[in-house]
Structure 1
């Protein structure tokens, strides 16, 4: 479901597959490829990002939260935000390493990263074997960056890092010893619930009178073979909010996007979102956002392009 996407009329689609929204922000910091002398010694420090540190040649000693780890060529270290760490040559000789600092707002991935029992992944581990080809691709791109990064290089780096996360997720599913018990299954279940909730919103957009459609969280839980209470508990543990709050947040987001389109009247938007009338939509929107739909539209400085599609006079205080 794309933001402000208005589906075709009923009966026009012969077949369709609905892909849940993909809304992920990735920030990369301090990515570097570096060869250092045997006297290399980086002091203890910490930062608010995750870090992948991959040794290409030689030996590195990494001290993480007062625990010492020896990285041989091909070994990978994953650091969490706030981990104090220092590094030096592990044998007094030069070594080469590749480093990525990153932030990502994908709560499912972060939930898994935060539960990993490991810091050091040896070259023959399931995770490193899966990630090594992508890490070497990142190294190759980085090695060709001279000073200013080109748009092509930036897009290729971002693409490769997302590929890295995809490989990481698949490695989690193969080796259940990487995580505390049932973590992968719990997060995967939360992901399935989230996808069905987004599909529920889309289906509401396709039918007039959403208030008459009683399909909801109870039905999603039944389809997944779990109790409603377990559905709520798992979703809240992974995402930090209830399924109903998630539904409200998503509907509010779509309402705001639609209100920023001056071609649509409030009456049309109310119908697209599945409300039985403008007053119901207006009350709900004000409960969520503190402004009526008309007030929100005015605050965004949108002026109707067509007087026939001006905001409805029915958008009144509640």
Structure 2
């Protein structure tokens, strides 16, 4: 008997019928947001020269301001976006009857996104340009949160989650808007970062697809197979990956496996023997040696530190 379809939802593609699977990419990006605000200022308003260690997005919502960046003046009108890199000296002042602006400071640990932003030489993105137009809807969603209602009052968890959601949508749109322009800029940093993230994505895919055969993945189907797929040498693969992530692909892969092992050990329904079998190690002794080498703890010690009552192993 077939299960009923949910109303108003499209019929999903039956990947299992053809023996296929699709794993969504893991999301481990950390973003820190600072001093997100909108402000209406008068005609005499100005802000002195300063720097900050984060990126800044500044958008004029009404009126006009002058932004001085590294000694160069930019007239910023309604809808114009300014994107400032960390450490850039900048100041601003009103050039007319006052203006309203939106400002957000952020840092993010996505190396590919940072590589893209660092290569952009453009500071002012005019309202009629592709970048400002494309991020408009995402920005509007974020600005809606500046007028709190009863459900979004104060610093509620729900409001903070909605802000994060809106900011990630803004970043995704910004990425799409500027990546094609950045790809034509000189320098190899962006290309290397993109290649490194392709390697990382494929390593994650190896762990997902071969869950239950981790030993095989580590020894035979890891960086060598990925290098072949990408048409590059193993040495180049290792060099590019290390330049972006700071560790070798093999160490990164071990971290992915460790992450899976910790998730399983934190669930008391599984014994260490079962986890050993699920991860594809030949025996408990082998799994224990690997886990202790990665984490500094035995599987049993780690479990005792994360769950109140450990099942018998």
Q: Given the superposition, is the C-alpha separation of residues 263 and 152 from structure 1 closer, same or farther in structure 2, using an over 3 Å criterion?
A: closer
Q: 1:20 aligns to what?
A: 25
TM-score by length of 1: 0.82
Q: CA deviation at 1:57?
A: 2.1
What does the per-residue CA deviation read over 1:44-88, in whole Å, with 9 as the maximum and x for residues that have no partner?
Answer: 333333211011222222233444333222221112333333221
Contact map agreement 1:44 1:86 (CA 8 A) in 2: yes
Contact map agreement 2:120 2:182 (CA 8 A) in 1: no
C-alpha distance in 2 between matches for 1:268 and 1:207 = 14
For structure 1, the 5+ residue unaligned runs are: 1-10, 312-318
What does the per-residue CA deviation read over 1:154-187, in whole Å, with 9 as the maximum and x for residues that have no partner?
Answer: 4443222111111122123322367443544433
Tell whether 2:97 aligns with 1:93: yes
Q: CA deviation at 1:220?
A: 0.7
TM-score by length of 2: 0.83
- Secondary structure of 2:228's counterpart equals helix
Q: 2:280 aligns to what?
A: 274
Structure-to-structure mapping, 1:74-113, within 5 angstroms: 74-89=79-94, 91-113=95-117
Q: 1:204 aligns to what?
A: 210
Q: CA deviation at 1:239?
A: 2.2
Q: Which structure has more RCO (C-alpha within 8 Å, separation ≥ 6)?
A: 1
Q: 1:310 aligns to what?
A: 312
C-alpha distance in 2 between matches for 1:198 and 1:40 = 51
Q: 2:78 aligns to what?
A: 73
C-alpha distance in 1 between matches for 2:276 and 2:235 = 31
Q: Given the superposition, is the C-alpha separation of residues 143 and 302 from structure 1 closer, same or farther in structure 2, using an over 3 Å criterion?
A: closer
Q: Given the superposition, is the C-alpha separation of residues 106 and 79 from structure 1 closer, same or farther in structure 2, using an over 3 Å criterion?
A: same
Structure-to-structure mapping, 1:23-34, within 5 angstroms: 23-34=28-39
Q: 2:50 aligns to what?
A: 45
Structure-to-structure mapping, 1:144-223, within 5 angstroms: 144=148, 148=154, 153-176=159-182, 179-207=185-213, 210=216, 214-223=220-229
Contact map agreement 2:218 2:253 (CA 8 A) in 1: no
C-alpha distance in 1 between matches for 2:218 and 2:90 = 57
What does the per-residue CA deviation read over 1:118-148, in whole Å, with 9 as the maximum and x for residues that have no partner?
Answer: 2222334432232233223322332456972
Q: Which deviates more from structure 2 when the two are superposed, residues 228-237 or residues 206-215?
A: 206-215
Q: How many residues align?
A: 296
Q: 2:137 aligns to what?
A: 133
Q: Given the superposition, is the C-alpha separation of residues 255 and 12 from structure 1 closer, same or farther in structure 2, using an over 3 Å criterion?
A: farther
Contact map agreement 2:183 2:190 (CA 8 A) in 1: no
- Secondary structure of 1:78's counterpart equals strand
Q: Given the superposition, is the C-alpha separation of residues 185 and 214 from structure 1 closer, same or farther in structure 2, using an over 3 Å criterion?
A: same
Q: CA deviation at 1:189?
A: 2.4
- Secondary structure of 2:210's counterpart equals helix
Give RMSD over aligned pairs. 2.8
Q: 2:5 aligns to what?
A: none
Q: Which deviates more from structure 2 when the two are superposed, residues 187-196 or residues 204-213?
A: 204-213
C-alpha distance in 2 between matches for 1:250 and 1:58 = 50
Q: CA deviation at 1:287?
A: 1.4
Contact map agreement 1:116 1:180 (CA 8 A) in 2: no
Aligned partner (choices 119, 124, 127) of residue 123 of structure 2: 119
Q: Given the superposition, is the C-alpha separation of residues 253 and 231 from structure 1 closer, same or farther in structure 2, using an over 3 Å criterion?
A: same
C-alpha distance in 2 between matches for 1:126 and 1:240 = 35
Tell whether 2:231 aligns with 1:225: yes
For structure 2, the 5+ residue unaligned runs are: 1-15
Contact map agreement 2:268 2:307 (CA 8 A) in 1: no
- Secondary structure of 1:93's counterpart equals strand
Q: CA deviation at 1:92?
A: 4.1
